[in-house]
Amino acid sequence: MQWETTLKDGMVNDSNAEPEITSNGIYVRLLQAKPIPLDITLNCQPGEVLALVGPSGSGKTTVLRAIAGLHRSEQGIVRCQGEVWQDSSRHLFLAPYQRTVGMVFQNYALFPHLTAIQNVQEGLAHLPKQDRSDRAKEILSRVHLKGLEDRYPNALSGGQQQRVAVARALAREPIVLLLDEPFSAVDQVTRRRLYRELAELRRTLSMPVILVTHDLEEATRLADRLCILHKGVTLQTGTPLEVAARPVSATVARLMDQQNLFVATVINHDLHAQKTLIRWRGLILEAKHQPDYAPEEKVCWMIQPANVLLHRRHRHSNGERENPLSGIVTGYTTLSEYAIAQVVCDALANIVITLTLPIHVARRNDLALGERVKISLLAEAIHLMPYERLRGDKSVNVVD
């Protein structure tokens, strides 16, 4: 099978041949020009959690709807655990009831006139009636709701209602579990408890789990891999650590809320030292060797706040030799066990570097507003990306 190379309104597909698709897990390829443009590719293996991350309108919920059979893209392939649910080249599209999908919605979508056990039994239509009650009790116990089987949704807390929704989704014995902003309607304490329970539950699931979330912390905590979507396009897929430390573009860096994002020019590459030199605001910085960028080429670069080294007040270290800077602390906040500081290294150039460090380290070094400090940008953590114009984007520290 070959994809059509163009769609209506000039949408171009740069992949003529269908990618290799295994029978394990789920594979999704969606391509359309209307009603919203889509060019999305993703896969998720059994037992894996894949988080779809991106701003509103990026296509996250549309992907879930396409998997569930509630949306039909102009061109598409949806294959799950050896079953073909959509293949536009064969004019194949299975209805939702023909797909073994478990879906948990943001607003729970429980039947208010049914008890918890009756809601779960709604997902057990494939079992004989006499077996449904015991099976529903078993699933409710699995999600920590034993003893609450006969309560109606209005007598349950938000977290308990969410557990019923998960139980009902699992009752169908799905081969893929879809979670659409499942924790956004509960308080922070309940959310953290549900995180732990989902982590415990997923160890027993032999199916792909696809999670839609706006919360980067949630995605990083729960997912094995992230799929970054923007304006209906898959930008990057990888582990949370990979995507955060090595985004493929400044756009991905912004979507990952990277605070230290700038523009520089490549000077040259030192193969022997495995370093790349860049010129930034009159400074020469050493970065890890990244030979894909030519000398005199303009690039974007970033460094994660955790990789900005604070010099110890009374004790020196070798790391202080790497791209040393000095400045004034103009912003300082604490968050749980971490401190976040903004350091203005050049007021005229408006160079602001954000760093994070354990709060005990900040206190030991008397880090506070107005303090003059010395920092280093660790060369190994400076990551280069293709140039994008950043001026005017107030969501990050931009220097061009």
pLDDT in tens, 269-304: 999 999 999 999 889 999 999 999 999 999 999 999
Is residue 42 classed as helix, strand or coil in its secondary structure? strand
The residues, any chain, with a CB within 8 Å of residue 318's CB and separated by 6 or more, are: none
Element holding 162 (H helix, E strand): helix 158-171
pLDDT in tens, 314-346: 666 555 678 999 999 999 999 888 999 999 997
- Report whether pLDDT(81) > 70: yes
User: Greater confidence, 343 or 1?
Assistant: 343
The DSSP result for 256-307, as a single string, is TT-SBEEEEEEEEEETTTTEEEEEETTEEEEEE--TTS-TT-EEEEE--GGG
CA distance 240 to 183: 19
Closest listed residue to residue 353, CA positions, set 341, 363, 365, 361:
341
- Report whether pLDDT(13) > 60: no
| Structural domains in the chain, sorted by start | 8-250 (3.40.50.300), 255-303+379-400 (2.40.50), 304-377 (2.40.50.100)
> What's the first-to-final CA gap in the chain, in angstroms?
46
CA distance 95 to 91: 13
The side-by-side arrangement of strands in the sheet containing 324-335 is 308-310, 372-377, 324-335, 338-346, 351-358
Which pLDDT does position 3 carry in this prediction?
Answer: 46
Mean pLDDT for 133-143 is 93
What pTM did the predictor assign? 0.87
CA distance 2 to 184: 40
